[in-house]
Amino acid sequence: MALRPNLRFGRRIAEISVARSVFGGELLQVAARGTRRHEPISSGASARANSMQQLSPLASELATRLRRLLAKCEKAGVAPAAVASLPAARKLRAAASSRGGCKWPPLRATCVAGAILICCVGWFSGLLLTPAVVSTYLSWWGGSIQDEKCLLANPDWLQDSTRPPEDCSICAGVDTVDRVSQISPQLFEQKYAYSGRPVVIEDAMRNWTAPSIFSLDFLRSLYRDSPQPNCQFFPYKTEFRGLADFFNMSEERATGKPWYVGWSNCDDRVSRQLRQYYSRPYFLPENSENKQMDWIFIGSPGYGAHMHVDNVGSVSWQAQLKGKKLWVLQPPPECLYRCSIMQTTLEPGDIIVLDTDRWYHSTLIVSDDISITIGAEFD
């Protein structure tokens, strides 16, 4: 008996065995009846006929072909086990089993479960998000339902994904940050104030005493009796949970791992004290209004703010009181092919004017001492 015909029979049988992945095990059970070693082929004819009537025409045809091939193999003296052990049969059985499992039911079940969960959350939110529950939640985190704008913080990635497309005219043709001094309010308004073009004013702190007064200890003394639990606090990538937590850090922590934080000053008492040491920048247009809320950013060397875009609704200015800070300005993603990435370093005494709602920006403290910046918005 030659081996090559047996291989040919085996390959054909293995090819048809793929039908198991479509019709299940019943097909081969029907086709294989009467082909077992101890049962004559003819003795299973009646049972085969009854079983094949229950199959579709395609399944019946495949079963008939498979039965004939098995009969030829048995007549040639090839045992079914030998045919099943052929490499071609093993490969095709493996392929059939990998395709045979239904992968959709688990996914459908997950989708259905997710939809049910969303419905339940939506239904229960009407019961759970009552003023009393929200007030308790906010008080747990040191907030107040009267002062907080949102129950949960809006993450940067969500703000970025829902931000409307930007007009690239704000940055087209701009490849450097201008540095000016002795600029009149009229020229500033005409060229920089609302054009979106960033600028650094080098002589903006006329008659300011803040650069010589402000320090970490000075700010700590101001806020000792005003922890400002309801004001916005930016921990960036530090462990501080709030302003009180920040000012309570140890001397070892202050001089150890780099840190950088910022906060909005919403305490009227502290605002009045702070503004004794600085005034409205001289270059702001006469008809513009400087917002009453101040922003303060302070950090140690080697740290700063990650690349981000703000949502404050107005153009802002930031005054570099102490230390040196590197600013990296990046145009909106839709303008990267037309605009340039720029950078500038603020020295003590510089003020940068920037539309932080439109320009992505990051900062890095590059001096050997602490950086302190104060700023506000104007419109």
Indicate whether 94 pLDDT > 90: no
What pLDDT is stored for residue 39 in this prediction?
42
Tokens of 143: 């907030």
Mean pLDDT of the chain: 77
Angle at 14 between CA 10 and CA 18, to 5 degrees: 170
Q: Closest by alpha carbon to 205, among 334, 86, 349? A: 349
What pLDDT is stored for residue 115 in this prediction?
76
Judged by average pLDDT, the poorest of 122-131, 192-201, 292-301 is 122-131
The whole-angstrom separation of Cα 225 and Cα 244 is: 10
Confidence of residue 212 (pLDDT cuts 50, 70, 90): very high
Coil, strand, or helix at residue 269?
helix
pLDDT top residue among 29 and 97:
97
pLDDT top residue among 145 and 240:
240
Portion of the chain with pLDDT greater than 70, in percent: 63
Indicate whether 342 pLDDT > 50: yes
* CA dihedral of 86, 92, 95, 100, whole degrees rounded to 10: -120
What burial class does residue 79 get, using C-beta atoms within 10 Å of its C-beta: 0-12 exposed, 13-18 middle, 19+ buried?
exposed
Indicate whether 102 pLDDT > 80: no
| pTM over cut 0.75 | no
pLDDT per residue as tens digits for the range 264-297? 888 888 888 999 999 999 999 988 877 767 899 9
* CA dihedral of 309, 310, 311, 312, whole degrees rounded to 10: -150
Determine the number of helices (DSSP H) and then strands (DSSP E) in the chain. 16, 11
* Strands lying side by side in the sheet with 325-330: 342-346, 325-330, 360-365
The whole-angstrom separation of Cα 349 and Cα 321 is: 6
Mean pLDDT highest for which of 63-67, 85-89, 189-193?
189-193
pLDDT per residue as tens digits for the range 37-59? 444 444 444 544 454 455 556 66
First to last CA, the chain: 97
Domains of the chain in start order, with CATH, are 3-100 (no CATH), 104-152 (no CATH), 160-378 (2.60.120.650)
Indicate whether 124 pLDDT > 90: no
Confidence of residue 1 (pLDDT cuts 50, 70, 90): very low
pLDDT per residue as tens digits for the range 226-269? 656 567 888 988 899 888 889 889 988 988 889 999 998 888 88
Which residues are within 8 A (CB) of 297 and not within 5 positions of it... i.e. 6 or more apart?
234, 260, 261, 262, 305, 318, 363, 371, 372, 373, 374, 375
**What b/e readout covers 121-157, taking b as 16+ CB neighbours within 10 angstroms?**
eeeeeeeeeeeeeeeebbeeebbeeeebeeeeeeeee
DSSP string, 52-69: HTTS-HHHHHHHHHHHHH
In DSSP terms, which residues pair with 363 in a beta bridge? 327
The whole-angstrom separation of Cα 260 and Cα 118 is: 38
Over range 153-157, report the average pLDDT. 58
Q: Length of the chain, please?
A: 379
The whole-angstrom separation of Cα 104 and Cα 108 is: 6
Look-up: residue for tokens 């918005």? 377
What pLDDT is stored for residue 66 in this prediction?
72
Coil, strand, or helix at residue 366?
coil
Element (H, E) at 140: helix 131-140
The whole-angstrom separation of Cα 71 and Cα 43 is: 13
Q: Closest by alpha carbon to 187, among 173, 176, 197? A: 197
Maximal C-alpha separation, the chain: 113
Coil, strand, or helix at residue 251?
helix
